[in-house]
Amino acid sequence: MRPMKSQPLVGFIGSVSIGTGRCLFSKNRTFYRSSHYLSACIATKWNNLPCSIPDWLIVNLEKQGFQHSNVVQQKAIPVIFSGKDIVLVAPTGSGKTLAFLIPLLSLVDFKKSWIQALILVPTAELGFQINRLARSLCSSLPLSSTYYQPRSSERSVVGFLSKEERNIRSRKEKQPVIMISTLDGALECLSNSCLERVKHIVLDEFDDYFIRSSWRSKILGLLPSSHSRQLIFSSATLQQSQHFLYQCRQQKWTRQDELEYIQIDKTEWIPKVVHYYYLLKEEEENRIQVLINIWRQQKFPKAIVFIREDSKLTHIAQLLQEEWQRQTSTTEENLLLVCLSTDASLKSRQHVIRMFCDGDVNLLLISGQLMRGLDIPQVTQVYNLEWTDGVEEYVHRAGRSARWLREGLVLSFVRHKELFALERVSNQLNIRFVQWPFS
């Protein structure tokens, strides 16, 4: 199949009106399409924010397609500039990464030769993507400005560290100004002396690891004391937020009088995602066959397919290829798909992401373990080939579609016994599911 240019969803998919779909878990059978509210659309120029973003950074932001700030950045960036500790909770794809990267790139002193900002991430994939974005934003630092001092090729302004990629193993190696690191990479390769002058620490997707006491104690043991650094928590989900904020102050993870909590809720940001479910009519109904049939009808260039277990990726990829060949004629091109597996090396996983983002690959197969933070703007469709176990996982899966208020859809395959779980997601997230195919 030749990848085709994505067409926006404007009230219909294929030739069938969304309004005719069966709306699950709603008293009114009319489908209320998710849409973003006005405040999410109030775009503000970067230089109009109440903080000093350097001109070179604004130029690079605009080159990357970020012409304006959104509601997430408008609320978070001034707080981070002020030096206060912050807990930022906002939906996936809403621009949280830029919300903390812009202040960091503005506040650090590029003339210094030590780590001034540390960004901790739960997966190497998330770190890899933040690293790419950060490097692109500081690609043209002015050589004569106060922000930049010419460096040797051995030292980078932004560095990425994981357990597999130990690029600053010794004190003799020159350190970047901003270090992005996985948890195990930081704990194994960074010493307290490396971080003693760190002023800004970001814990991205912190609910995935910081809530667990085993990780928390190790992370806190690595960081400077709370009075000498700024702590930035960022995630799409946070349960028991008031308890977490109380713990932040009580345990002195943050400064008691300088902690800001920013939560962007559905009244401020709702991406334009349509949520569907396909009810498998019989236990033996082949979801692989159904998925390929739907994919052929839609003809969108790229999609992500989620399954539960990493160990099944290769087998399901083979089944998808076989079903594609069964349904298509010999004149049609092959289905191009790749698998993102936790068993693969970091270098291999980075290669897979590049192939999917920049090449002609149609489908990315992945389990839930590596999904956090994947930011691939070309993806408009997400398929839950196997139903997720929890509400939070659904949020992060669905968040791979419709990045930055683009339009998209999420289609979940469920059996009758899984409808109660679908209803729980519907109730807790206040979203409505439409049955596919349409009646």
Report whether pLDDT(42) > 90: no
In the 3-class helix/strand/coil scheme, how is the chain assigned residue by residue?
Answer: CCCCCCCCCCCEECCEEHHHCCEECCCCCCCCCCCCCHHHHCCEEHHHCCCCCCHHHHHHHHHCCCCEECHHHHHHHHHHHHCCEEEEECCCCCCHHHHHHHHHHHHCCCCCCCCCEEEEECCHHHHHHHHHHHHHHCCCCCCCCCCCCCCCCCCCCEEEECCCCCCCCCCCCCCCCEEEEEHHHHHHHCCHHHHCCCCEEEEECHHHCCCCHHHHHHHHHHCCCHHHCEEEEEECCCCCHHHHHHHHHHCCCCCCCCEEEEECCCCCCCCEEEEEEEECCCCCCCHHHHHHHHHHHHCCCCEEEEECCHHHHHHHHHHHHHHHHHHCCCCCCCCCEEEECCCCCHHHHHHHHHHHHHCCCCEEEEEHHHCCCCCCCCCCEEEECCCCCCHHHHHHHHCCCCHHHCEEEEEEEECHHHHHHHHHHHHHHCCCEEEECCC
φ/ψ of 100, rounded to 5, equals: -100, -25
pLDDT attached to residue 195? 85
Check residue 179 and give its pLDDT: 92
Bridge partners of 119? 180, 202
What's the pLDDT tens digit per position in 126-153? 888 898 899 889 877 754 344 444 444 3
Average pLDDT over residues 111-125: 89
Compute the distance between CA of residue 197 and CA of residue 114 in angstroms, rounded to an integer: 8
Q: What is the pLDDT of residue 35?
A: 31
Is the predicted pLDDT of residue 22 greater than 80, yes or no? no
Any idea which fold 12-35+271-436 has?
Answer: Rossmann fold (3.40.50)
Three-state secondary structure along 211-250? Answer: CCHHHHHHHHHHCCCHHHCEEEEEECCCCCHHHHHHHHHH
Q: What is the mean pLDDT of the chain?
A: 78
Contacts of 312 (CB under 8 A, 6+ apart): none
User: What tokens appear for 214 in the block?
Assistant: 């085993």
More confidently predicted of 219 and 407: 219
Name the pLDDT band for 343 (thresholds 50, 70, 90).
Answer: confident
Does the structure show a pLDDT above 80 at 224? no
Residue 230 has pLDDT above 90, yes or no: yes
Residue with the two structure tokens 């960022």? 234
Task: Give the closest residue to 40 by CA, choosing from 91, 97, 78.
Answer: 91
Highest mean pLDDT among 67-76, 146-155, 394-403: 67-76
Tokens 């080159």 label which residue? 63
**pLDDT range class, residue 271, cuts 50, 70, 90:** low
Which of 237-246, 266-275, 360-369 has the lowest average pLDDT?
266-275
State residue 43's pLDDT score.
66
Indicate if the pLDDT at residue 75 is higher than 90: yes
| pLDDT beyond 60 at 180 | yes
> CA-CA distance, 218 to 221, in Å (whole number)?
5
Q: What is the pLDDT of residue 389?
A: 73
Which phi and psi angles does 323 have, rounded to 5°?
A: -70, -35
Q: Determine what percent of the chain is predicted with pLDDT higher than 70.
A: 77
What is the mean predicted confidence (pLDDT) over 425-436?
Answer: 87
Mean pLDDT of 407-423: 89
Q: What's the rounded mean pLDDT across residues 271-292? A: 83
Burial class (CB in 10 A: 0-12, 13-18, 19+), 154: exposed
pLDDT of residue 80: 96
pLDDT: which is higher, 171 or 182: 182
Q: What are phi and psi of 279, to 5 degrees?
A: -90, 110
| Residue found by looking up tokens 């390769």 in the block | 189
Percent of the chain with pLDDT over 90: 23
- Both tokens assigned to 19: 């309004």
How far is residue 436 from each of residues 23, 277, 340, 408, 423, measured CA to CA in Å?
A: 10, 6, 27, 15, 16
Does the predicted TM-score (pTM) go above 0.85?
no
What's the rounded mean pLDDT across residues 236-245?
A: 86
How confident is residue 88, by pLDDT bands cut at 50, 70 and 90?
A: very high
Instruction: Look at residue 190 in the predicted model and tell me its pLDDT.
Output: 79
Q: In 10 A of CB 69, how many CB atoms?
A: 25
* pLDDT of 78 higher than 90: yes
Is the pLDDT assigned to residue 415 strictly greater than 70? Answer: yes
More confidently predicted of 273 and 320? 320
CATH code, 39-263: 3.40.50.300
Does the fold of domain 39-263 match that of domain 12-35+271-436? yes
- What average pLDDT score do residues 98-119 get? 92
Give me the pLDDT at residue 164, please: 60
Domain parsing of the chain, residue ranges: 12-35+271-436, 39-263
How many residues are listed for the chain in this entry? 439
Amino acid at 27: K
Query: Taking the CB of residue 427, how many other CB atoms lie within 10 A of it?
Result: 11
Of 25-34, 259-268, 374-383, 413-422, give the lowest mean pLDDT range: 25-34
